């Protein structure tokens, strides 16, 4: 089959060579964006008088037919036509005749493909922002239910201090808030149109790039045609923002997995978000959380992949850049899926408040309370730490907790300790008293929740 660019060639490549170079297998995902870009381009060619009205009308008619077929899934792409751009151009010519060949006037596949990617990513990043926000709302609702649910807080995965379970959930809300901000902020760098840069040097046709931008709803056009066709920073940035989002989801997934174990039993996932084992009938596995944790790897890989593709490429377009697509599509798919699954998983999970309550009453996570108590009574904190440590050790030897230690034993370490210490050591009290801004005190968690609500549109 003769290529659309076949004029200077004396022989064609073999099918397997074509196969290697073709991107149609994956860039067909850009079909609607490519048609959208072509509609704007030809409309601009008409508006500037570069093409006569009747040609523009014929081309727009053909593009509309292709759009209809694309939506209905009726387009048949071929490897022989290499990529989405040439496939569609060929289909247009087949559909309306040689006039279809005028569509590519003043345009190159280099500004065309970059345009498609900008249109595509702008839509998908907005979708990601919506998914993040839906998840944030669910987290907020869960948090509101559990402001006064006391849970163990950890450092080094060792019991540290008692906290409000809502406080723990809200920590993820804020990570997601930053993710949302990063994606939102990145839109201004996606919202720049490369169309009109041509192959790289611009064009001799009197095109109107601002008109194309207006038609496609872009705020700006690239100031430099060479930068326009070689820039993939906006994709790197998307992959980087996605990597950080996945890091957050993966950390949360890890906690969901831990909390679902018999050892923790802090939550139970809904059956609808769990799976069974083919051999062990008792099993209920947190597969979805594990998958999200696992999929984080491929998103990081996609980021590293593209950075590496770009690092040695001279200006401007190089075929290497065709390698920007699969990682981007895969990442879009992965982050949208992960966000939706995580939202459902958290919305439907049961929080085992009794177990959390019990956990926090059978540990030493109230030890800081005793040290603070002594410090409030004038003992230097370092000394208070030492005294408390000794009392903890005494308890460990006796196989009891601080709340079970008789006052006489406490007084052996410090006369400053009075009977009111038992109220101070109660985990609820320990949480309630943490009034410092952003702390886990119930009043602070409520303030935090109010602040979080204001972040949601
Ligand atoms: N399929 C190509 C890509 O994805 C489109 C641009 C091709 N341009 C070229 N000059 N060969 O990068």
Give residue 101 CA to ligand 1 midpoint distance, Å: 18
| Nearest atom of ligand 1 to the alpha carbon of 27 | 4
CA-closest residue to ligand 1 atom 1: 83
Among the listed residues 156, 278, 436, 457, the single catalytic one is 156
**For 277-336, what is each residue's pLDDT tens digit?**
888 888 889 999 999 999 999 999 999 999 999 999 999 999 999 999 999 999 999 999
Give residue 9 CA to ligand 1 midpoint distance, Å: 18
CATH number, domain 108-356: 1.20.200.10
**For 110-131, what is each residue's pLDDT tens digit?**
999 999 999 999 999 999 999 9
- Helix, strand or coil, per DSSP, at residue 153: strand
- Which CATH number fits the domain 357-453, given the four candidates 3.40.50.740, 1.20.120.550, 3.60.21.10, 1.10.40.30? 1.10.40.30
Pairing mode, if any, of strands 192-193 and 220-221? parallel
CA-closest residue to ligand 1 atom 12: 322
For residue 155, the cross-strand partners are 158
d(CA 286, CA 266): 14
Token code pair at residue 25: 């297998």
- Mean pLDDT for the stretch of residues 403-407: 95
Among the listed residues 164, 167, 225, 277, the single catalytic one is 277
pLDDT for residue 269: 96
pLDDT for residue 444: 97
**For 67-98, what is each residue's pLDDT tens digit?**
999 999 999 999 999 999 999 999 999 999 99
| pLDDT category of residue 457 using cuts at 50, 70 and 90 | confident
Q: Is pLDDT above 80 for 2?
A: no
Q: Is pLDDT above 90 for 229?
A: yes
Give residue 8 CA to ligand 1 midpoint distance, Å: 18
Contact 55, 47 (CB under 8 A): no
pLDDT for residue 110: 98
d(CA 386, CA 393): 11
Distances (CA, A) of 425 to 161, 205, 367: 11, 80, 8
Distances (CA, A) of 402 to 70, 178, 382, 392, 405: 70, 40, 19, 7, 5
The secondary element (H helix, E strand) that includes residue 318 is none
Is 156 among the catalytic positions? yes
Is 277 among the catalytic positions? yes
Q: Would you say domain 14-104 falls under CATH 3.40.640.10?
A: no
Neighbours of 319 (CB within 10 A): 9
Pocket of ligand 1 (CB under 6 A): 23, 27, 83, 85, 109-110, 113, 317, 319, 321-322
Task: List, in order, residues 6 or more apart from 16 with CB less than 8 Å away.
Answer: none
Give residue 318 CA to ligand 1 midpoint distance, Å: 8
Domain boundaries, the chain: 14-104, 108-356, 357-453
How is 231-270 classified by DSSP, letter by letter? --HHHHHHHHHHHHHHHHHHHHHHHHHHHTSTTT--EE--
**For 31-66, what is each residue's pLDDT tens digit?**
999 999 999 999 999 999 999 999 999 999 999 999
């Amino acid at each position: 089959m003769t290529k659309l660019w076949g004029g200077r060639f004396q022989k064609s490549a073999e099918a397997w060579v074509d196969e290697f170079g073709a991107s149609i297998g994956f860039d067909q995902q850009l079909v609607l964006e490519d048609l959208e870009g072509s509609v704007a381009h030809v409309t601009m060619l008409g508006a500037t008088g570069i093409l006569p009205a009747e040609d523009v009308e014929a081309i727009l008619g053909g593009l509309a037919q292709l759009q209809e077929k694309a939506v209905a899934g009726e387009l048949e792409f071929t490897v022989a036509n290499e990529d989405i751009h040439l496939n569609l151009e060929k289909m247009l010519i087949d559909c309306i005749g040689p006039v279809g060949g005028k569509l590519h006037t003043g345009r190159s596949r280099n500004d065309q493909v970059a345009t498609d990617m900008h249109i595509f990513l702008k839509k998908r990043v907005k979708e990601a922002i919506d998914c993040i926000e839906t998840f944030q709302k669910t987290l907020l609702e869960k948090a509101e239910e559990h402001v006064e649910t006391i849970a163990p807080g950890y450092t080094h995965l060792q019991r540290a201090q008692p906290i409000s379970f809502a406080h723990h959930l809200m920590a993820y809300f804020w990570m997601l808030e930053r993710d949302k901000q990063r994606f939102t902020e990145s839109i201004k760098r996606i919202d720049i149109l490369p169309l009109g840069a041509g192959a790289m040097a611009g064009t001799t046709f009197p095109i109107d790039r601002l008109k194309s931008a207006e038609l496609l709803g872009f705020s700006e056009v690239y100031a430099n045609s060479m930068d326009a066709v070689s820039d993939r920073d906006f994709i790197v940035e998307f992959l980087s923002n996605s990597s950080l989002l996945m890091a957050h989801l993966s950390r949360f997934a890890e906690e969901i997995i831990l909390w679902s174990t018999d050892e923790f039993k802090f939550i139970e996932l809904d059956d609808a978000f769990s799976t069974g084992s083919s051999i062990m009938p008792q099993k209920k596995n947190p597969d979805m959380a594990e998958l999200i944790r696992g999929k984080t790897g491929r998103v990081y890989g996609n980021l590293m992949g593209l950075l590496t593709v770009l690092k040695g490429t001279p200006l401007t377009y190089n075929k290497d850049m065709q390698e920007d697509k699969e990682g981007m599509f895969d990442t879009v798919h992965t982050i949208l899926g992960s966000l939706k699954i995580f939202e459902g998983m958290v919305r439907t999970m049961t929080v085992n408040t009794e177990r959390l309550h019990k956990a926090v009453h059978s540990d030493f996570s109230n030890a800081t309370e005793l040290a603070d108590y002594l410090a409030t009574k004038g003992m230097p904190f370092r000394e208070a730490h030492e005294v408390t440590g000794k009392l903890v050790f005494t308890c460990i030897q006796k196989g009891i907790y601080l709340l079970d230690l008789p006052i006489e034993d406490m007084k052996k370490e410090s006369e400053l300790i009075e009977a009111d210490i038992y109220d101070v050591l109660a985990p609820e009290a320990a949480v309630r008293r943490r009034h410092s801004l952003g702390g886990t005190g119930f009043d602070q968690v409520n303030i935090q929740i109010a602040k979080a609500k204001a972040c949601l549109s």
